[in-house]
Structure formats: structure tokens, C-alpha cells
Structure 1
Amino acid sequence: MFSYEKEQQEAIEHIDEVQNEIDRLNEQASEEILKVEQKYNKLRQPFFQKRSEIIAKIPNFWVTTFVNHPQVSALLGEEDEEALHYLSRVEVTEFEDIKSGYRIDFYFDENPYFENKALSKEFNVNESGDPVSKSSEIKWKAGKDLTKRTGQTPNKAGKKRQHEEPESFFTWFTDHSDAGADELGEVIKDDIWPNPLQYYLVPDMEDEEGDGDDDDEEEEGLEDIDEGEEEEGEDEDEDGDGEDGEDDGEDD
């Protein structure tokens, strides 16, 4: 019995040694992966810049992209959408060591809602290694603070996904409660920013649904016509039988 326990203990120690080697390789892999990511982040920058210059030529590109995105559209009220019509450029910048965080910049044309030409939100880690965020203070024009309007009407896209009225999209700039898991920030950085065109080109689902309704109405109309023709045919058969019966009687 003692021999078995000793062998088991030695086996556990050997497993621990091998696990330490695996952990060491994992750390080495993480460092090398980080270097590769840093390298390709730099290589992508000129293409992101070129893409931004082309996007600037397309009116309402970013508001259309956000409205077409299922998660972001659920956060947009009608007035938010109106304000985002003045959004001319979006930029996502990952910090050089990547692990420390990123920043999202929104650039706006002159608009009736706020004075800022740019709004940004930044995510990083503090000295203790805890995730934190900070953002621009929005300088709202008189009576235009969308974060204080709780009665915003959800936009058309948002209505499909939720029944409650959404808070303003712009409350995101003042919410620093969960910097380590900021859903909107991560959606913009990891989903929209790598390829916004896929969301800009999403077809209007309402139009598609509308077309489907028309088709259903046409099919129902055709069914009504078919049913009407069948009823008329039955009436004619009944009338025909009656006439034949009368003729037979007269012949007798």
C-alpha cells in the first residue's frame, strides 16, 4: 500500500513538472503572438487610413452601419439616430502593447446637439492591473442633452428587438461601471471596425418583410378567387341537375 501511494505521489510530481513546462511554453507563445499582433497592427494602419478617406465620401455611412448592426441598433433612440447623422468618422486605436487597452474616437460635423467636434472613450488598465475607462465630457447645447431624455422613442430597427424604450446611446460615454466588459466598446472594436462595410450593406429587413406581406396578400387573393370559382362551379352543377330532372318529368 505504501509503495502504491509513493508511486502515485511521484507521478503527481512528474505531472506538475510537465505542466510547468507547458505553462512556460504558453507564456512564450503569448509573447510571440503579441509581437505578431503588434506587427500586423502597424501594417494595417495605412489601409485603415485609406478606408476612412473613402468612407468620408459616402454620406451617412456610419449611422447606417450602426443602425444595421443588431446589437447597436437596440441602443439607439430616434434622437440618437438623428445626432449620429452628423458622425463623419470613427477610428479605433489599439495601444501598442495591445493588452493595455484601446481608444474609440468619434468625429462629428457641426450639429445642433453638442459643441464637441470629437468624442472618445478609452479603455486601459490602472497600476493595479484593473480595467478602467475614461471618456470625453459631452458639451451639450441648451435643451439638447439626450442622456436626460428617458422618453426616447426606439428607432425602427430597435423596435424589432426590444419593447422597452432604450437609454440614449450617448450614456455610454458616461458609463464606466464595467470597463473590463464594455459590450458596446468591444462590439465596435472587434466586430464593426474590422469590416464596417458588411453592416452598411445589410438590406433593410423592413422592406423585405413588407415584400413578404405583399406576397402573402397576393396569395390570399388568389385563394379567394379559386374558392369563388369552385363555389360558382358547384352552383352550376346543382342548377344543371334540377333542369335535367324537370326535362325528365316532361318526357314522362
Structure 2
Amino acid sequence: MDQQAVEIKNKKVTAPTPQNTPINAAPISSQSIPTVPSISEEIETISTPGVAGQNNSGLMSMLQGRLGNLISEPLPASVQRRINGLKFLQSKHAELEGEFQKEVLALEKKYLELYRPLYTKRAEVITGKYEPTEEEVALGAKVDEEEDQSDLEDDKENDVTESTDDNVSGIPEFWLTALKTHPQIGETITDEDCNVLKHLVDIRLSYLEKPGFQIEFEFTENDYFTNKVLTKTYYYQDNVSGGDYVYDHAEGCDINWKEGKDLTVTIETKKQRHKGTNKTRVVKRTVPAESFFNFFNPPVLPDDSEELDEDEAEGLDAKLEADYEMGEEFKEKIIPHAVDYFTGKALEYEDYDDEDDFDE
């Protein structure tokens, strides 16, 4: 199916980037350099609540009236000429923005390779393959001490309790705890999902040769599926539009569920009686179920032959946007700052109080 750029109807003031992030701006995100991507080719600027005059209907009416008069009056030829000159300058600015985004993407790829040894060692600590040295533990405690003395005291109390159990290997349920701590991702995790996510031992990021990225989820052997690794891949259009990479589509992977263990569906049974013979039979059918693992079966755009009404289109837009945002949350927050989500410290830097920031 020919994929197209997605125009999201529920737009924010600015295009989502790893720095302002699709859900909330947060200091634990990447540095202040804007990077990929924008969700749609045309992101509209929308007034935000709290802007001065937003709730003053009289002032807004006056401003709109003046704007209407300006638009309806033809501009002098000399002014229009200068505006065209400004448009030329803006086009050159957009070209530079495109080069900027390409260089930023190259920089992100470079630093991912520098981060990778740290992520590898993190995975070894989590799985019990590596035990931190006394020096590493002391330096880690010092980081907490510099950030918050009260947190250090809490950690010391926890250290005393945990040190009494020498049979614990690594950090049990590390990724399950981190994911459940994240408000948006945690809402997608059911009780049954937890039984599988206990076996999640690593989440990794890699960039594609073409613009885009892939997230890998590594599992130990479990009772639900045979895959060792599940993947989710996000693609951007090759061209840079308006200074940003444009999100194109996402692809999941096939999960090889064991018999009767598919968490993304439920089995409904119904008895049917034949009118002529009066015999009964049991009919089973599968219906979709809420599950974190629906993440690996992303929504797709219909082909040109399918027509959607307005409600269906808006619903699809919301699903596409939510799926994209979830991928960005993994890429920009969960993977780089996993320990902060495990401990809950990440929530201190996030403004998750506004429920309007989340898609239903």
C-alpha cells in the first residue's frame, strides 16, 4: 500500500521533536537542538490556553475584525514586491533548516554509538551478568547526593534492605517497572501483559540507513510467544519539508503467539441451535483486546479505494498520532533515561498533571 504523510488533526502549537517531545517538554529529553520529526507536512499554529487575551472575547473579535480588513484590502504593488522578497529569504532559510536537520540526525547517530557501550553494560547489570564496582556504586550515589539529599537518604535505606537478600540476580522486573511508571505507556499495560513484560530484559534503539529508527525489545523465554526480539520501526520521508523530517509510517512485527496465549484478542464462544434438527453447536470468534502488544501492530492508512467519513478519519488520525508519540517516548525518554523511570525520579521532571496532554 502506498503510504502518505499523515496529517494529524489534533495538532500542538509546535511540531513534535525529541526536544519539545510529543507529550511534554522535559529536561531529561535530549539537548535543546531541535531534531526530527514533524508529524505532518503542514503543522498549523494554534493558540494555546493561557495566552494573554485568549479568554477575552471582545479583544479577540476586534483583532479578528482588523485582520479581516487587512486581508480584504489589496496590497500596494510595492509592498507585495517586498513580501515576495521576504518569501525568497524564507525559502533560503528553509533550505538551511533542512541541512541543519540532516546534520543533527548525523550527530544523533554518532552519539548513539558512543552511548551504546553504556547501554550494553546497563543490560548486563539488569540481567545479572555484571556487578557494578565499588567505585561505580559510589559515583552513582554521589550523583543522587548532588541532585537531592533526601533521595540519597531514601536510597541508603533501600540499600540496607536489599543487601539482606543475596539470592537476587540483577534487577528483577526492571523494564516492566520503568514502563509502568511512564503514564502514557503504563496505561496500555494490562495485568496479563505484566506476566510477559517480566521477561523483557532490554530495549534498544538503532537508526536506519534511510531517515527513521527501530526499537528492539528483547525477551527471555516465556509462556506466551516464541520470539526472542520484537521490533517496531518508524520511517520518515526522504525529503525534508519545512526544515523537518516528515513522519511517514510505522511497521511492527509478527508475534509468534503460543496456542491460546495471544493477548491482543479474546475468544468469545456462543451456542447456536439449528432450527431444523434442533442440534446445537459452539461457535468461537476472536475479538480485539486491549494490550500493550498492540504496539507491534500499528494503525495503517487505507488505500485510495477506501473512503472514510469524518469521524473515522479523525479516529485514525488520533491512533496514528498516539502510535508515533509512543515511539518517540521510547526513543527520547525510556531508553536514554530508563533508571529514572524505574526509580520514579523521571516523574519529578515531567508535568503529567494535565490530562489534556494525553490522547484517549
Common topology (TM > 0.5): yes
Per-residue CA distance 1:66-110 (angstroms, 9 max, x = gap): 12221111111111011111112211212255xx21111111111
Matches within 5 A, 1:180-219: 181-202=323-344
Q: Is the CA contact 2:298–2:323 (under 8 Å) kept in the aligned structure 1?
A: no
Q: Does 1:108 align with 2:219?
A: yes
CA distance in 2, matches of 1:62, 1:182: 20
Is 1:85 the counterpart of 2:198? The answer is yes
Distance 1:119 1:6, change over 3 A: closer
What is the TM-score of this pair, normalised by structure 1?
Answer: 0.63
Contact 1:131 1:180 in 2 (8 A): no
User: Deviation at 1:181?
Assistant: 4.8
Query: Which of 113, 127, 133 is the equivalent residue of 2:250?
Result: 133
Aligned to 1:94: 207
Provide, for residues 161-196 of structure 1, a one-character-per-residue CA deviation record: whole Å limited to 9, x for no partner. xxxxx7111122123333895232222112211101
Deviation at 1:125, TM superposition (A): 4.3
Q: Secondary structure at the match of 2:264?
A: helix
1:247 equivalent in structure 2: none
Q: Rate the CA distance shift 1:36–1:115 in 2: closer, same or farther, 3 A.
A: closer
Counterpart position of 1:163: none
Max Rg structure: 1
How far 1:133 sits from its partner (Å)? Answer: 2.5
Equivalent position amino acid for 1:70 in 2? P
Higher mean alpha-carbon deviation, 168-177 vs 31-40, is at 31-40
Query: Does structure 2 conserve the Cα–Cα contact (< 8 Å) formed by 1:68 and 1:202?
Result: yes
Partner of 1:220: none
Instruction: Report Cα offsets for 1:20-55 as digits up to 9, x if no partner.
Output: 333333233333333322322222222222222222
1:97-124, Cα deviation, whole Å (9 max, x unpaired): 5xx2111111111111112122112222
Q: Which amino acid letter does the alignment assign opposite residue 63 of structure 1?
A: L
Query: Could you say what secondary structure the match of 2:205 adopts?
Result: strand
Structural RMSD (CA): 3.0
Checking the alignment, whether the CA contact within 8 Å between 1:65 and 1:199 is kept in structure 2 is yes
SS in 1 for 2:177: helix
2:177 is aligned to: 64
| 1:150/1:167 contact within 8 Å kept | no
Aligned-partner residue type, residue 106 of structure 1: F
How far apart are residue 150 of structure 1 and its match? Answer: 8.2
The one of 88, 93, 96 equivalent to 1:22 is 93
Q: Taking structure 1 as reference, are residues 125 and 150 closer, same or farther at Cα in structure 2, changes over 3 Å only?
A: farther
Greater RCO (Cα-Cα under 8 Å, separation 6 or more): 2
- Identity of counterpart residues, as a percentage? 33
Taking structure 2 as the reference length, the TM-score comes to 0.46
Are the equivalent residues in 2 in contact too, given 1:120–1:135 (CA < 8 A)?
yes
**Where do 5+ consecutive residues of structure 2 fail to align?**
1-74, 129-170, 240-245, 269-288, 301-319, 346-360
In structure 2, how many angstroms separate the alpha carbons of the residues matched to 1:180 and 1:168? 15
SS in 2 for 1:172: helix
Q: Which runs of 5+ in 1 are unaligned?
A: 152-165, 204-252
Q: Tell me what 2:242 maps to.
A: none
* 2:82 corresponds to 1:11: yes
Structure 2: which amino acid aligns with 1:168? S
Please give the alpha-carbon distance, in whole angstroms, between the structure 1 residues aligned to 2:118 and 2:172.
20
What are the equivalent positions in structure 2 for 1:214-229 lying under 5 Å apart? Answer: none
Q: Relative to 1, partners in 2 of residues 1:150 and 1:104: Cα closer, same or farther, differing over 3 Å? A: farther
Instruction: Specify which of 101, 110, 125 is matched with residue 54 of structure 1.
Output: 125
Contact 2:252 2:298 in 1 (8 A): no
Specify the alignment match of 2:285 in structure 1: none
Q: Is the 8 A contact 2:223 2:258 kept in 1?
A: yes
- Write out aligned runs for 1:153-192 (5 A): 167-177=290-300, 178=320, 181-192=323-334
